Each structure stands twice: as C-alpha cells, then as structure tokens.
Structure 1
Amino acid sequence: MTESAAKRTRVAIVGAGVSGLTCAWVLKNGRRWPSAAPQNDLDVELFESADRLGGHTWTVRHEDRNTKDAVDLDMGFQVFNLTNYGNLVELFEALGVDSQPSTMSFSYSKTDGVGGSQSRAVEWSSNNGVFGIFNNALRDALDGDKWKLTRDLVRFERDAEGILEDESLEGATLEDWLGSKGYSSAFAENYMYPMCSAIWSSPKDQVKQFPIQWLARFVCNHHLHKVTSMQRPLWRVVRGGSRTYVDAIESNLRDGSGRSGPTKIRLGCEVRSVEYMSARGTYRLSYRDVGKSEVTKEFDVLILGTHADTALNMLFYDEKGNPNDAMAHLNPFKSVLESIPYCENRVVLHTDRNWMPAEEKSWASWNVLERAGGQGGKAPPPVCMSYWANLLSSLPKGCDDYFVTLNPWQGPAAKDVILEGSLAHPQFSAEAERAQKKLQSVNGSHGLYLCGAWCGYGFHEDGVRSAIDVCDRLGILTPWHYKERQELIDTPQRWSGPTEQFRLLSPRATYRQATFTYLFDQYMKRCIKKGFLRIILPSGHELEYGDPNTTMHIDTHVLKQEGDSANSTGGARECVCRQSLKAESTLRVFDLGLFEDIVLNSDIGLGESFFRRKFVVDDLFVLLTILSKNLAEINSSTNKWVMGLLSFFGNKWNYLKWLLRSNTVTMSRKNIEEHYDAGNEMYRLFLDENMVYSSGIYTQDDGISDSSILTRDTLEAVQMRKLRKVVEMCEVQKNHSVLEIGCGWGAMAILLATEYACNVTGITLSTEQLEVCNQRAKDAGVSHLCTFLLCDYRNIEQVGAFDRVISIEMIEAVGHEYFGTYFATISRWLKPGGKAAIQAISYPDDRYDSQLYTSDFIKQHIFPGGHLPCKRVMLECAGLHGLHLEDCIDIGKSYAITLMKWRENWVREHASVRKLGYSQEFWLK
C-alpha cells in the first residue's frame, strides 16, 4: 500500500435519502476549519438498496392527457419554507436548484364515504382563513361545533407559545393538555388531531400521545398557530420537481473533481449485515451488488442514513432475525433506535376526484379524509389524506387534476391510478424525544454515526441537519457554515451550530417594513423595463420586475484556467474569456430593512445593505448591469415621486455629507488617508507585484484559435504595458525631469528612473505609500533619482521645473470646484514645450451634470470626496490654462478586465484579509 493510500479514510454511507445524500455531498464539498488538526482524505461509498436515489424524494414524470406535455409529480417530499429550512435552502443554493412559491392550505372532511355523492358529517378548509370553516354559510352558521372550533382556534394562537415556558407540562401529552385546558372535542377531533396526522402521516391514536411541549415547539417555530396567513411563512416547492436536487447531488458526487474525487454510488445494493472488526476498529459490510453476488468490504467509518428500524435490524439482528451479540458494545445505539418505530403508509398517485373533499370549494393542498362510523370492524388505516399536486406544485393551467393519496381505504379507480407504492414515516412519542437527546451523546462512538429525518421532527430540514451534524463530528463543515465562521471569525459566539437553525428568518413584517416594501415595489414596477429582476422575501413571497421571459443578454468576461500543470506545456495559464449571461437576477432578502435603506438612500442604501448582509444575489454583476440598463427610468423624476419626500430628503442629506468632504487642502489629506492608508499588506493581496492601483491595458493575443478567449495577459503584464503606454504618449526622454501627481506605491517613478534615468518627483498624501516608495527606490538603486514628497499638489512652489507631468487616476480626488486649480498648477509646473499625460476614470459628457448635486456609494464609502470628471470639462479647464489635447485613447474595456482580476484576487484572499484584522463589512465593500 502506498503512503498516499494509507492516509485515506474509508467511509461507508448506507441509505441515499436526503440524509445520506447530504452526508456524501458535504464530505465531498465541505471544508475543514482552518485551525483543525490535519485529517486523512476520504474515500466515500454510498449504498442504496433501491434502484434510485432520493428516498422520500420521489418525482414521477407523467404525460398529461389534456395538454400532452410532461408534468413532474412529487410522491413524497414536496414543500419547504425559508423560515425553518435554513440548511436545506443553503444546500439548494449551493446546488443551483431553484424554487417557486406554493399554496399551502388544509382541509378536513368527515363523511360516510368519499366523493361528492356521499353525505357529509363535517367539512371545512383553510382556503379563506377562519371564514373557510363556514364554507356552507347558512348551514355552518347554525352549527355549534363550527363556532367552538373557531373559538378554540383563536384561543390556541394565544396559548401555544406559553406551553414552552410551562415546566409543569414536561411529559404531558397533547390529549392530556387539550383536556386539562377545556378545549372542545370539535377542535380536538376536527382540527388538532387531523392536522397533526397530516403533518406526521400518523394515526390519530399516535398523535394523541405526542409530547405537548415537543409539538408546541414545532408549531410555534413554523408559525402554524397563527390564524392569519400574513403571519406565516409562504411555502415553496422545487422547480421541476424535488428530483431536481437529487439529480444535482448525484451529478456532483459522480464528478471526479475536488479533494476526494468521485463518490462511488452503489444502487440496488442492499446491505444485509454489519460486523464490527474489533481488532482493527473497522466495520465489515455484507451486501448484494447489482448482480446479486454476495460481497463483503471493510470501512473505517460507518454512517447509517436509513430509517431507524432499518438501522436497528442491520446492526443488531442477522438475516434470520436472531440477535447479533457481537454488537453488544453498541447497545446505547440500540436503545435509541428501538424508541423510534416506523409506520408504513400506502401511497397512490392518481386522478380520481372522489378522494377529495365533497365540496370542491373546500379542496386544499392537504386534505384529510375520514369516514364516520368506522370501517365495519376492520382496523382503520393510519391516516387517509390527499395532496392536491396541482396546487402544491403550481402545475400549468389546463392540466388534469393529480392527487397523491395516503392509505385510501378502497380504490382509487384502477383506470385513474398512475403509480402506487409505500413510504414509511417515523412515529414520535415522549420516548422518541428522549432517544433523540441521547443520540447526541453517543453519536460517533466506535466510528458509527446515525443520521436521518427521525433525529428531528421527521422532515427534510431535520434530515439535512442531522447529516451536517455527522459531518461536523468528522471535522467537515458545510460550505455555508465555513463561510459564516470566516465572516464571523472575531465573534465565534454568533456561529450557527450544525444542530441549530442556520439562518433564522421571520415571516412577520412590521407596519414600517411593509410601508417601505410597498414604496419600493411601486417604484421598481415603473423602472425595470429591460431584463428581469426577482426578489425573494424572508416570508417566501416574491416580487418580480421586468420581463420573466426576457431574451436580453449581457456580454461580460470570466477568468478561466487553460490547460493544467500536468498535461500542458508550461503549465496551466489563466485566460480572460468572453461570456454572455441572460439579463435576469435573483435576490434573496434576509432583512426587510433593505427596502427602507433603498428608499431613503438609493444606491448608497443598496450597497450598505449588501455589505451588511441584508440580502444576497446570485450574480452581483448581472444585478448592477440590469439596474444600469434601466438607469433612465430609475432617475426619472416622474418615477421618483412614488417614493415621496422620504427619498428626496434622504438623497439631499447624503449630498450634504459629501459636500462636507470637499477637497480642500486639509480635507484632501483626510480623504486620501482614509482610503490609501488602509494598509499596504491588504493592497498587496489583490494588486500586481508592482502595486499599480489603476487600469491596465489589455491586448488580444495574436493567433488565438478559441474565439471565446479574449486575452491571456497577466495582471503584471497589462500594468507594465499601461505604464509604458503613458511614457510613450508623454514622449518621455532620457534625463527628463518628471513630476508624478499621485505616485501611488512608486511603480511609474521606478520605471522612469531605471530605464530612462529621469529625475522623478512623486507626490502623495498617503504616509503608507510614501514609506513603500522610498524603500522600493532604495531597493532598486535609484533613490538618488527619485524624490517622494508628502504634500498636496497645490503646495508645490516650483514654476517651470518639469519637462513632463504624469497623473494616473488622481484627478478623481480633485473635485469639480478644483479642476481649474489642478490644470493651472500643471501648466505652471511645465517647462515651455512640456507635456502632461493624465489617466482618468470619467463620466459620459451627457450625464456629468446629473452627478454634481448627488452623492453615491462610491463617493461615500470607497473614495470619500471623490468626483469623476468628464472629457468635456477637462478640456475646458485645460484650455483655460494654455493646455491643449494632442491624443486620447479609451481603455474602458481594459478597466473592466482589470477590476475583474482584482476582484478574483480579493475573493481568493478572503481569509488573508480577515487575518489582517479587517472586518467582513470591509471585505464586502
């Protein structure tokens, strides 16, 4: 065995439901915490007895008989929300899986049969809130039980949260609590028990024994006790069916890239027994492969992502059902698994409308059906309910009606059945709750790990969370937990633990938040005409602007690696490639304060909300491009009135703050120090080796056969090309005296001194830049030719002292009111016949006047006191002082690529930036 092979840990994951898949994905894509001790790489194998991955994620593709189009129908997992499914949402985002709003509603129908032809005992729905209880207005208004149900529904909203704080209720059951509080049988039998039966796919007798505090915690966390839908999260479904995320995980696992390489996926392989090899501390799995051959294999780590009863039989009983005494040392696990039984539920996908409430206006997403008078001596099914797939999955209009019914006591009609199967669900009790707590103390001992939805409340988020906990015990963090800990490296007390809700989002909105959201919404509806912008609110609701079917595309650039060090001559090379992106962007909002920030502070508010993590966006470049394409509408006074005086005074306040940073001699020093004295080590992390902090000049390589490749230029090469181009345009000659206004870290000065023997005077207002300039000149052996001064350009007294003047991206720090002084000073410094070269970031002439009386994010947060000139104003000011234009080139496209490379370096060096002591907000700016 080679040394590298000896250092790999063999991991077996049994069960490819949501927990097993998440485990495999995190182990492949997760990150080790930087301070953790070195660990072995992993060889992971995933075993699944079925012929498909996903477990309860079971999507069926069916051709609709009406539209003749294929529809995706979910048999198992269907819905989630942004409030309670934080880890699942992060997993979906990491996978690139999209979702859409769903309609979550509930109905209960108790009849002497099924179908509209049967007489009805009780029927109600939540379609119209409390009013849905009285669907048959006249008859229901006279029904005393309906009024009792309504009264207790409102009462339960008040009582639910108090249950969690009542220590006397520890160990009490739902049935006990309802009785002790005097809740009516109408509420218990026609609402609470059916609701819980639907949520957990459990029979009524089992539901009655639910621990009341355990239940109340779930109900309150999901806001299910709230009477009005405005206080509850909006539920969502995966676009294209839940199978979409399973396919994405499978594709990722089979991909050979990454630290661990591909994950071996063994479908149709039933693990029949597990044996602990005490001498080596390993587990020997016996399983049947696809060819039904018996195979045994050893692993260092065993993760069971199966149902609790399946894990129990696998570990502690042989194939004949006899106890496996060799596993006695794992008895703590046995007691946990024995405490969580499962109930098998028959599942039928069909189009038989008889398995819905009698009144069609009572049809809801979830519909519990019950027969009055029992089953004629037969044992009742665990729970009978129908999911209305059209409503839950937002199926296209015109489709047939599709239903997924659990445990129908007869039928449905054979001609209407599309598929039939079974799904098992955990049955919870006080004993099960104690077992879950016990698992936390034993999980991972002897190299055995258990995970599954049964570790929580039985839902997808619980399965994902339990898998994350297992990976955390193995020293692997999810990408989102790792990112959070990097962002909050100075405040570890704010880290989310793997067993906690990752990101708490409340669906509630205050009146203030609702007001600003409304103002923003009305404004954006008027402004976004090009492209498509989608905003997902914390509640799960969505705001949409523009054309969702837009064909508009955005041309941009992306960095790619060409070749690799092993197979390409010269190793891997970074190249800049063309890329076309669809003009659509999605924002996910975490804090509704975002809309107040935008209404009051425009783009400043948007930028501040971004670095304060009030929202995330799928592609920041696309978002900003969409906004820029609609700039005329955004700046239109006929649209801005929608946001009223609040926006007007907010913008004027920001303008006043910018005016107070006007570039006087004193304030210029303060403005420059704030930006350029932020730390030389920080700037070294993203600039080129010469630390040139301005746009380079890119050229397309000759002979590139791949038309998508724009250039292979490195950052160092393009910056040196730019410096030489400035020297060329300025016609610098040997032994010239040159003044550089804004010398940066000395790259231009050292080039002029070393290659042209020029006497260079460089001025800066940054003490940190001055220190580096002097040191670099000394290291280059040209300190006798270079003089660096800490002074304002207005304070140099020499007249006619320089052959050439160079100013690279310094004029942006001058200010409109000082442009005349700037050009007058250049004219005064130059000898007769002298020349100056100025590189500037400029505004278009036709938009220049609009920025004179406004502030923006760049002026307030990046370059305090900054102000971009335009070509027209520069020529006017220069002409007034005896200067005229000889040549001008546009390098704007090169600047876009320069910024992209800086950003790539900045993102790559995130950890290094944080280690230097800079905040996460600073990094995001």
Structure 2
Amino acid sequence: MTIESAPSSAGTVDDTRWASVARVPRGPFAAVSAAVADRLLRGAVAALPLRLCYPDGSVVGAADPSLPSLILHQPDRLARRVGASGLIGFGESYMAGEWDCADLAGALTVLATGVAELVPRGLQWLRPILLSRQPQSARNSPEQARRNVAAHYDLSNAMFAEFLDETMTYSCALFDHLPASSDHLADAQRRKIDRLLDTAKVGPGSRVLEIGTGWGELCVRAAARGATVRSVTLSAEQRHHALRRVAAAGLSDRVRIDLTDYRELEGRYDAVVSVEMVEAVGYALWPGYFRALDDFVVPGGRVAIQAITMPHDRMLASRNTHTWIQKYIFPGGLLPSTQAIVQITENQTRLRTVDMMSLRDHYAETLRLWRQRFNERRDALDTLGFDAVFARMWNLYLAYSEAGFRSGYLDVYQWTFAPTGAGQ
C-alpha cells in the first residue's frame, strides 16, 4: 500500500517524492562512487563514538557495544546510494530498510556533533558528491509556496492528530521541567504560546496578525485575551481545522482566518506573531519577509516570532544545496542563522530585538515525545493509509531533528522585536 491509496483526508500528498527509494544506482560510476562513499563512512565512524555492524558480524568503529550502532543489512546498497546522492542517499537507504539503529536519535546526534569531521579536510573537494544542488522548483514564488506547504501540512489532519497533543501545536513546546512526559505536552504548548503573546503585549483590544495559522491554538488563545486576530495560512487542511476550533470556542467574531500568502496582505497591527514560519520562506526572500513584518506593525507595537536557527557558516554553505529534509519533508525550506536575522532586521527594517530566549533543550524533548507518540500509533497510521516507507521517513525526520537540537547544531528562539530603529 502506498500513500496514494490513502483516504481523501490525506490532502495533496505527492508520493513521487519517495519513488526513488525503490531505485538503487547502477553502473560503473555508481560502483566507483560507492567505493569512495564506503571509505568515507568507515573513516568517519572510526573517529566517532559510533559503530557500524555488518551482516558478516564485523564491526567498524567503537568497541563499546553500548554506543549507538548502525546495523547495516545491505551495506553495498547503502554505499551506492551515498555515493550517488550523499546525505540524501543516506536517508533514502534508511527509508528502504537497508540499515537500522535501536537508538536512532542517539546515532544521529553523534553524526550531527561530528558533522565537520565527516569529510576529511583533504577530501573536501568531494563535497559535491555529498550535496545535491537545489532544484528550481524549490524557489518560493507564491504559487510554489502553496505547493510546498501542501506537500507537508496537507498530508492529513488525522495523521498529525495521532502524534500531536490536544492543542494540535506543531512547534517547540516550553516545559516547566525536563525531561517531560506526553502528559505535559499540551500544557507546555500553551505555556509557549502564552509567553510569545506576553512578549508581544497581546491583550484586550489588541489587533493581532498571525502569519502561519497552524491548527488554530494561538488564534484561540489570543482571542480569549480579548484581541481581534487575523491569521493567514497556505494550508487548506489546517485552515479548515482551525476555523472549526475557533467556532467551537465561540470566538468567530474575533478571529478571521484567510487562505492567502502574507505577501498579499495590507494593513497595520498592534502585534504581529509568526511561529516557525521563517524557515519556510527561503534564503532569497528573508529580507522581504522581515520588511513585511516591519510594515505590518504600528509604532509602539511588537513583532514576536519563533525561529529555528543553524550556524551561520553552515547556513551559507547549504543555502543552494538540496537536502534530504528538503526533498522529503519541507520542500523549499532553509533555516536562517541568528546572524542573518540580525543583519536583515538592523540593516533593512526598524525592527530591533527587545527579548530573545533559546528553547533548544525544549525542542529536543518535544521531538522525542512526538516520535514516541508517532511510533505508538503505527497501527492507526496504517489504517489511514500511511505505509512503512512513510513511517520510516518520518521516524528519520523526527530523530534527525531531535539530534540537531541535542548536538547544538540547531537552536530555536522566541524572538521579539519593536519597531524602534531607523530602517533602510
């Protein structure tokens, strides 16, 4: 069964995104590149607290069996995929079941921590083998942005409901203590939203613009404070669910939710909020995004965003590449760096930082809980039509993301601005 056979609630899923998983590179070039990839993989693992376990019982890497171990069921196929498409091939090999790991997040944390050492300095010229160029289709014109959003957020409201908590909030939570349990997730999401609304000074009479609706929790909580809210989204599935939640809360007179691009908006607001939206904008369009936030907020107002970030040098190195996450999870996305955000806001807008808090450890925990819930509900996902390849793909995505935060390679900030600067 493929995702194409899922019920209509699955939205606009395009299963051609993972059709290549069934194809293993062949031919002389594939054989040569596979040999290079195998050498690089063995060399990298030898320098890390990680193990490669082969079908013949041999082990490369750390001797301690308690350390994360990649169980290679078909090492030749893995090498061919990595040789042909680098880290995309590494992910596709996992999707195809060619390797496994009992502690997937732990193994990926080791790899994320040692990312700078994965390719020896003398072999950096081989970087193009490991990274593919970004396709033109990933550029976020308004039309392409709609397709990119639909590819992820319109998968199925029912699917997301299986692993998210009752608030249906799909962004980093803020726990009162770590580690946490699934029982704490809904309250942690409400705490995150309330803190963002507090820093944006949202209260009775506030006029609020939300860019990126999600499934409606922020709308409801802002309107419950006495604010009037306009929210925009490119996801038809999310808008449908959010409108139902707003109506159920008796707040339809205070909340308007439009299926439109933020670039098509006009008007000014006391507060502008946007939770983990900038990551989908795209490198070339970040200046326009922050100028729009600046244009939308009144003097004396606030702009509050939640943004996932990566190191500036890695952002520059990857801005034109095509990654596994972009191909299979978030087409068109790129994580900004804090340096990039500061440069854009200070040089091109009036926006100046008035509050900034990292939630990095909280995101690692949020992702751990989501993945736990996702795996606990595999039978329900099967019933919805999401097959084994999809389940492995999402397991890798959630573990990969958790590893990024645990290693410190990724961070996430609640970041509040006031329009107090001179602008461009």
Common fold: TM-score over 0.5: yes
Query: Where does residue 544 of structure 1 map in the other structure?
Result: 60
Shift of 1:899: 0.3
Residue 354 of structure 2 is aligned to residue 886 of structure 1 = yes
| Distance in structure 1 (CA, Å) of the matches to 2:78 and 2:390 | 19
Query: Where does residue 152 of structure 2 map in the other structure?
Result: 675
Q: Given that residues 696 and 894 in structure 1 are in contact (C-alpha distance below 8 angstroms), is that contact kept between their aligned partners in structure 2?
A: yes
Equivalent residue runs for 1:631-650 within 5 Å? 631-641=115-125, 648=128
State the secondary structure of the residue aligned to 1:660: helix
Q: Given that residues 521 and 543 in structure 1 are in contact (C-alpha distance below 8 angstroms), is that contact kept between their aligned partners in structure 2?
A: no
Shift of 1:591: 6.1
Q: Which one of 210, 228, 235 corresponds to residue 740 of structure 1?
A: 210
State the secondary structure of the residue aligned to 2:63: coil
Matching residue's letter, 1:534: L
| Distance in structure 1 (CA, Å) of the matches to 2:102 and 2:251 | 49
Query: Where does residue 694 of structure 1 map in the other structure?
Result: 171
CA distance 1:848–1:512, shift in 2 (3 Å): closer
| Distance in structure 2 (CA, Å) of the matches to 1:824 and 1:872 | 17
Q: Which one of 893, 898, 904 corresponds to residue 366 of structure 2?
A: 898
The unaligned stretches of length 5 or more in structure 1 are: 1-485, 491-508, 551-581, 701-708
Shift of 1:710: 3.4
Residue 28 of structure 2 is aligned to residue 519 of structure 1 = no
Query: Where does residue 134 of structure 2 map in the other structure?
Result: 656
| Distance in structure 2 (CA, Å) of the matches to 1:635 and 1:831 | 49
| Distance in structure 1 (CA, Å) of the matches to 2:252 and 2:259 | 16
Query: Where does residue 110 of structure 2 map in the other structure?
Result: 626
Residue by residue, what CA displacement relative to the aligned partner does 1:767-820 show, whole Å, maximum 9, x if unpaired? 11111111111111100100000111110022xx21000000011011111111
Matching residue's letter, 1:535: C
Q: Which one of 535, 543, 549 corresponds to residue 53 of structure 2?
A: 535
Residue by residue, what CA displacement relative to the aligned partner does 1:569-612 show, whole Å, maximum 9, x if unpaired? xxxxxxxxxxxxx5441323236221111122122111111111
Q: Given that residues 816 and 867 in structure 1 are in contact (C-alpha distance below 8 angstroms), is that contact kept between their aligned partners in structure 2?
A: yes
CA distance 1:634–1:822, shift in 2 (3 Å): same
State the secondary structure of the residue aligned to 2:354: coil
CA distance 1:856–1:788, shift in 2 (3 Å): same
Matching residue's letter, 2:343: E
Q: Which has the larger radius of gyration?
A: 1
Residue by residue, what CA displacement relative to the aligned partner does 1:424-462 show, whole Å, maximum 9, x if unpaired? xxxxxxxxxxxxxxxxxxxxxxxxxxxxxxxxxxxxxxx
Residue by residue, what CA displacement relative to the aligned partner does 1:834-867 show, whole Å, maximum 9, x if unpaired? 1010001110234321222322111111100011
Q: How many residues align?
A: 369
Q: Which one of 593, 604, 615 corresponds to residue 88 of structure 2?
A: 604
Q: Given that residues 741 and 764 in structure 1 are in contact (C-alpha distance below 8 angstroms), is that contact kept between their aligned partners in structure 2?
A: yes
CA distance 1:684–1:584, shift in 2 (3 Å): closer
Shift of 1:752: 1.0
Equivalent residue runs for 1:94-173 within 5 Å? none
| Distance in structure 2 (CA, Å) of the matches to 1:855 and 1:512 | 21
Query: Where does residue 420 of structure 1 map in the other structure?
Result: none
Matching residue's letter, 2:58: E
Residue by residue, what CA displacement relative to the aligned partner does 1:449-485 show, whole Å, maximum 9, x if unpaired? xxxxxxxxxxxxxxxxxxxxxxxxxxxxxxxxxxxxx
Query: Where does residue 243 of structure 2 map in the other structure?
Result: 774
Query: Where does residue 293 of structure 2 map in the other structure?
Result: 826
Query: Where does residue 684 of structure 1 map in the other structure?
Result: 161
Query: Where does residue 444 of structure 1 map in the other structure?
Result: none
Query: Where does residue 839 of structure 1 map in the other structure?
Result: 306
Higher RCO structure (Cα 8 Å, ≥6 apart) = 2
Shift of 1:832: 1.1
CA distance 1:617–1:768, shift in 2 (3 Å): same
Q: Given that residues 762 and 787 in structure 1 are in contact (C-alpha distance below 8 angstroms), is that contact kept between their aligned partners in structure 2?
A: yes
Matching residue's letter, 2:186: E
| Distance in structure 1 (CA, Å) of the matches to 2:84 and 2:384 | 34
- Over aligned residue pairs, what C-alpha RMSD do you find? 2.4
| Distance in structure 2 (CA, Å) of the matches to 1:510 and 1:855 | 24
Query: Where does residue 16 of structure 2 map in the other structure?
Result: none
Matching residue's letter, 1:533: R
Query: Where does residue 797 of structure 1 map in the other structure?
Result: 266
Residue 370 of structure 2 is aligned to residue 912 of structure 1 = no
TM-score by length of 1: 0.38
Equivalent residue runs for 1:290-309 within 5 Å? none
Residue 273 of structure 2 is aligned to residue 758 of structure 1 = no
| Distance in structure 2 (CA, Å) of the matches to 1:513 and 1:765 | 40
Query: Where does residue 614 of structure 1 map in the other structure?
Result: 98
Matching residue's letter, 2:167: N
Matching residue's letter, 1:837: A
Query: Where does residue 421 of structure 2 map in the other structure?
Result: none
State the secondary structure of the residue aligned to 1:678: coil
Q: Given that residues 70 and 99 in structure 2 are in contact (C-alpha distance below 8 angstroms), is that contact kept between their aligned partners in structure 1?
A: no
CA distance 1:919–1:781, shift in 2 (3 Å): same
Residue by residue, what CA displacement relative to the aligned partner does 1:115-166 show, whole Å, maximum 9, x if unpaired? xxxxxxxxxxxxxxxxxxxxxxxxxxxxxxxxxxxxxxxxxxxxxxxxxxxx
Residue 348 of structure 2 is aligned to residue 870 of structure 1 = no
State the secondary structure of the residue aligned to 1:777: helix
Q: Given that residues 68 and 102 in structure 2 are in contact (C-alpha distance below 8 angstroms), is that contact kept between their aligned partners in structure 1?
A: no
Query: Where does residue 73 of structure 2 map in the other structure?
Result: 589
| Distance in structure 2 (CA, Å) of the matches to 1:905 and 1:772 | 21
The unaligned stretches of length 5 or more in structure 2 are: 6-25, 394-424
Matching residue's letter, 1:840: A
| Distance in structure 1 (CA, Å) of the matches to 2:322 and 2:197 | 34
| Distance in structure 1 (CA, Å) of the matches to 2:64 and 2:75 | 28
**Structure 1 range deviating more: 626-635 or 600-609:** 626-635
State the secondary structure of the residue aligned to 2:270: strand
Residue by residue, what CA displacement relative to the aligned partner does 1:641-667 show, whole Å, maximum 9, x if unpaired? 5xx5xx73573xx3232x431111111
| Distance in structure 2 (CA, Å) of the matches to 1:534 and 1:614 | 13
Residue by residue, what CA displacement relative to the aligned partner does 1:172-230 show, whole Å, maximum 9, x if unpaired? xxxxxxxxxxxxxxxxxxxxxxxxxxxxxxxxxxxxxxxxxxxxxxxxxxxxxxxxxxx
Equivalent residue runs for 1:215-614 within 5 Å? 515-528=32-45, 529-537=47-55, 540=56, 542=58, 544-545=60-61, 547-548=62-63, 582-590=66-74, 592-614=76-98
More helix by share: 2
Query: Where does residue 399 of structure 2 map in the other structure?
Result: none
| Distance in structure 2 (CA, Å) of the matches to 1:874 and 1:510 | 45
TM-score by length of 2: 0.81
| Distance in structure 1 (CA, Å) of the matches to 2:151 and 2:28 | 38
Shift of 1:526: 3.4
| Distance in structure 2 (CA, Å) of the matches to 1:723 and 1:743 | 12
Residue by residue, what CA displacement relative to the aligned partner does 1:349-391 show, whole Å, maximum 9, x if unpaired? xxxxxxxxxxxxxxxxxxxxxxxxxxxxxxxxxxxxxxxxxxx
| Distance in structure 2 (CA, Å) of the matches to 1:516 and 1:735 | 62
Q: Given that residues 309 and 337 in structure 2 are in contact (C-alpha distance below 8 angstroms), is that contact kept between their aligned partners in structure 1?
A: yes
Shift of 1:674: 0.7
Q: Given that residues 513 and 592 in structure 1 are in contact (C-alpha distance below 8 angstroms), is that contact kept between their aligned partners in structure 2?
A: no
Matching residue's letter, 2:391: W
Residue by residue, what CA displacement relative to the aligned partner does 1:214-256 show, whole Å, maximum 9, x if unpaired? xxxxxxxxxxxxxxxxxxxxxxxxxxxxxxxxxxxxxxxxxxx
Matching residue's letter, 1:720: R
Shift of 1:530: 2.2
CA distance 1:534–1:510, shift in 2 (3 Å): farther
Residue by residue, what CA displacement relative to the aligned partner does 1:742-767 show, whole Å, maximum 9, x if unpaired? 0111100011112x111100100011
| Distance in structure 2 (CA, Å) of the matches to 1:599 and 1:805 | 45
Residue by residue, what CA displacement relative to the aligned partner does 1:385-411 show, whole Å, maximum 9, x if unpaired? xxxxxxxxxxxxxxxxxxxxxxxxxxx
Shift of 1:513: 7.6
Q: Given that residues 526 and 639 in structure 1 are in contact (C-alpha distance below 8 angstroms), is that contact kept between their aligned partners in structure 2?
A: no
Q: Given that residues 172 and 189 in structure 2 are in contact (C-alpha distance below 8 angstroms), is that contact kept between their aligned partners in structure 1?
A: yes
| Distance in structure 2 (CA, Å) of the matches to 1:619 and 1:650 | 24
Query: Where does residue 185 of structure 2 map in the other structure?
Result: 715
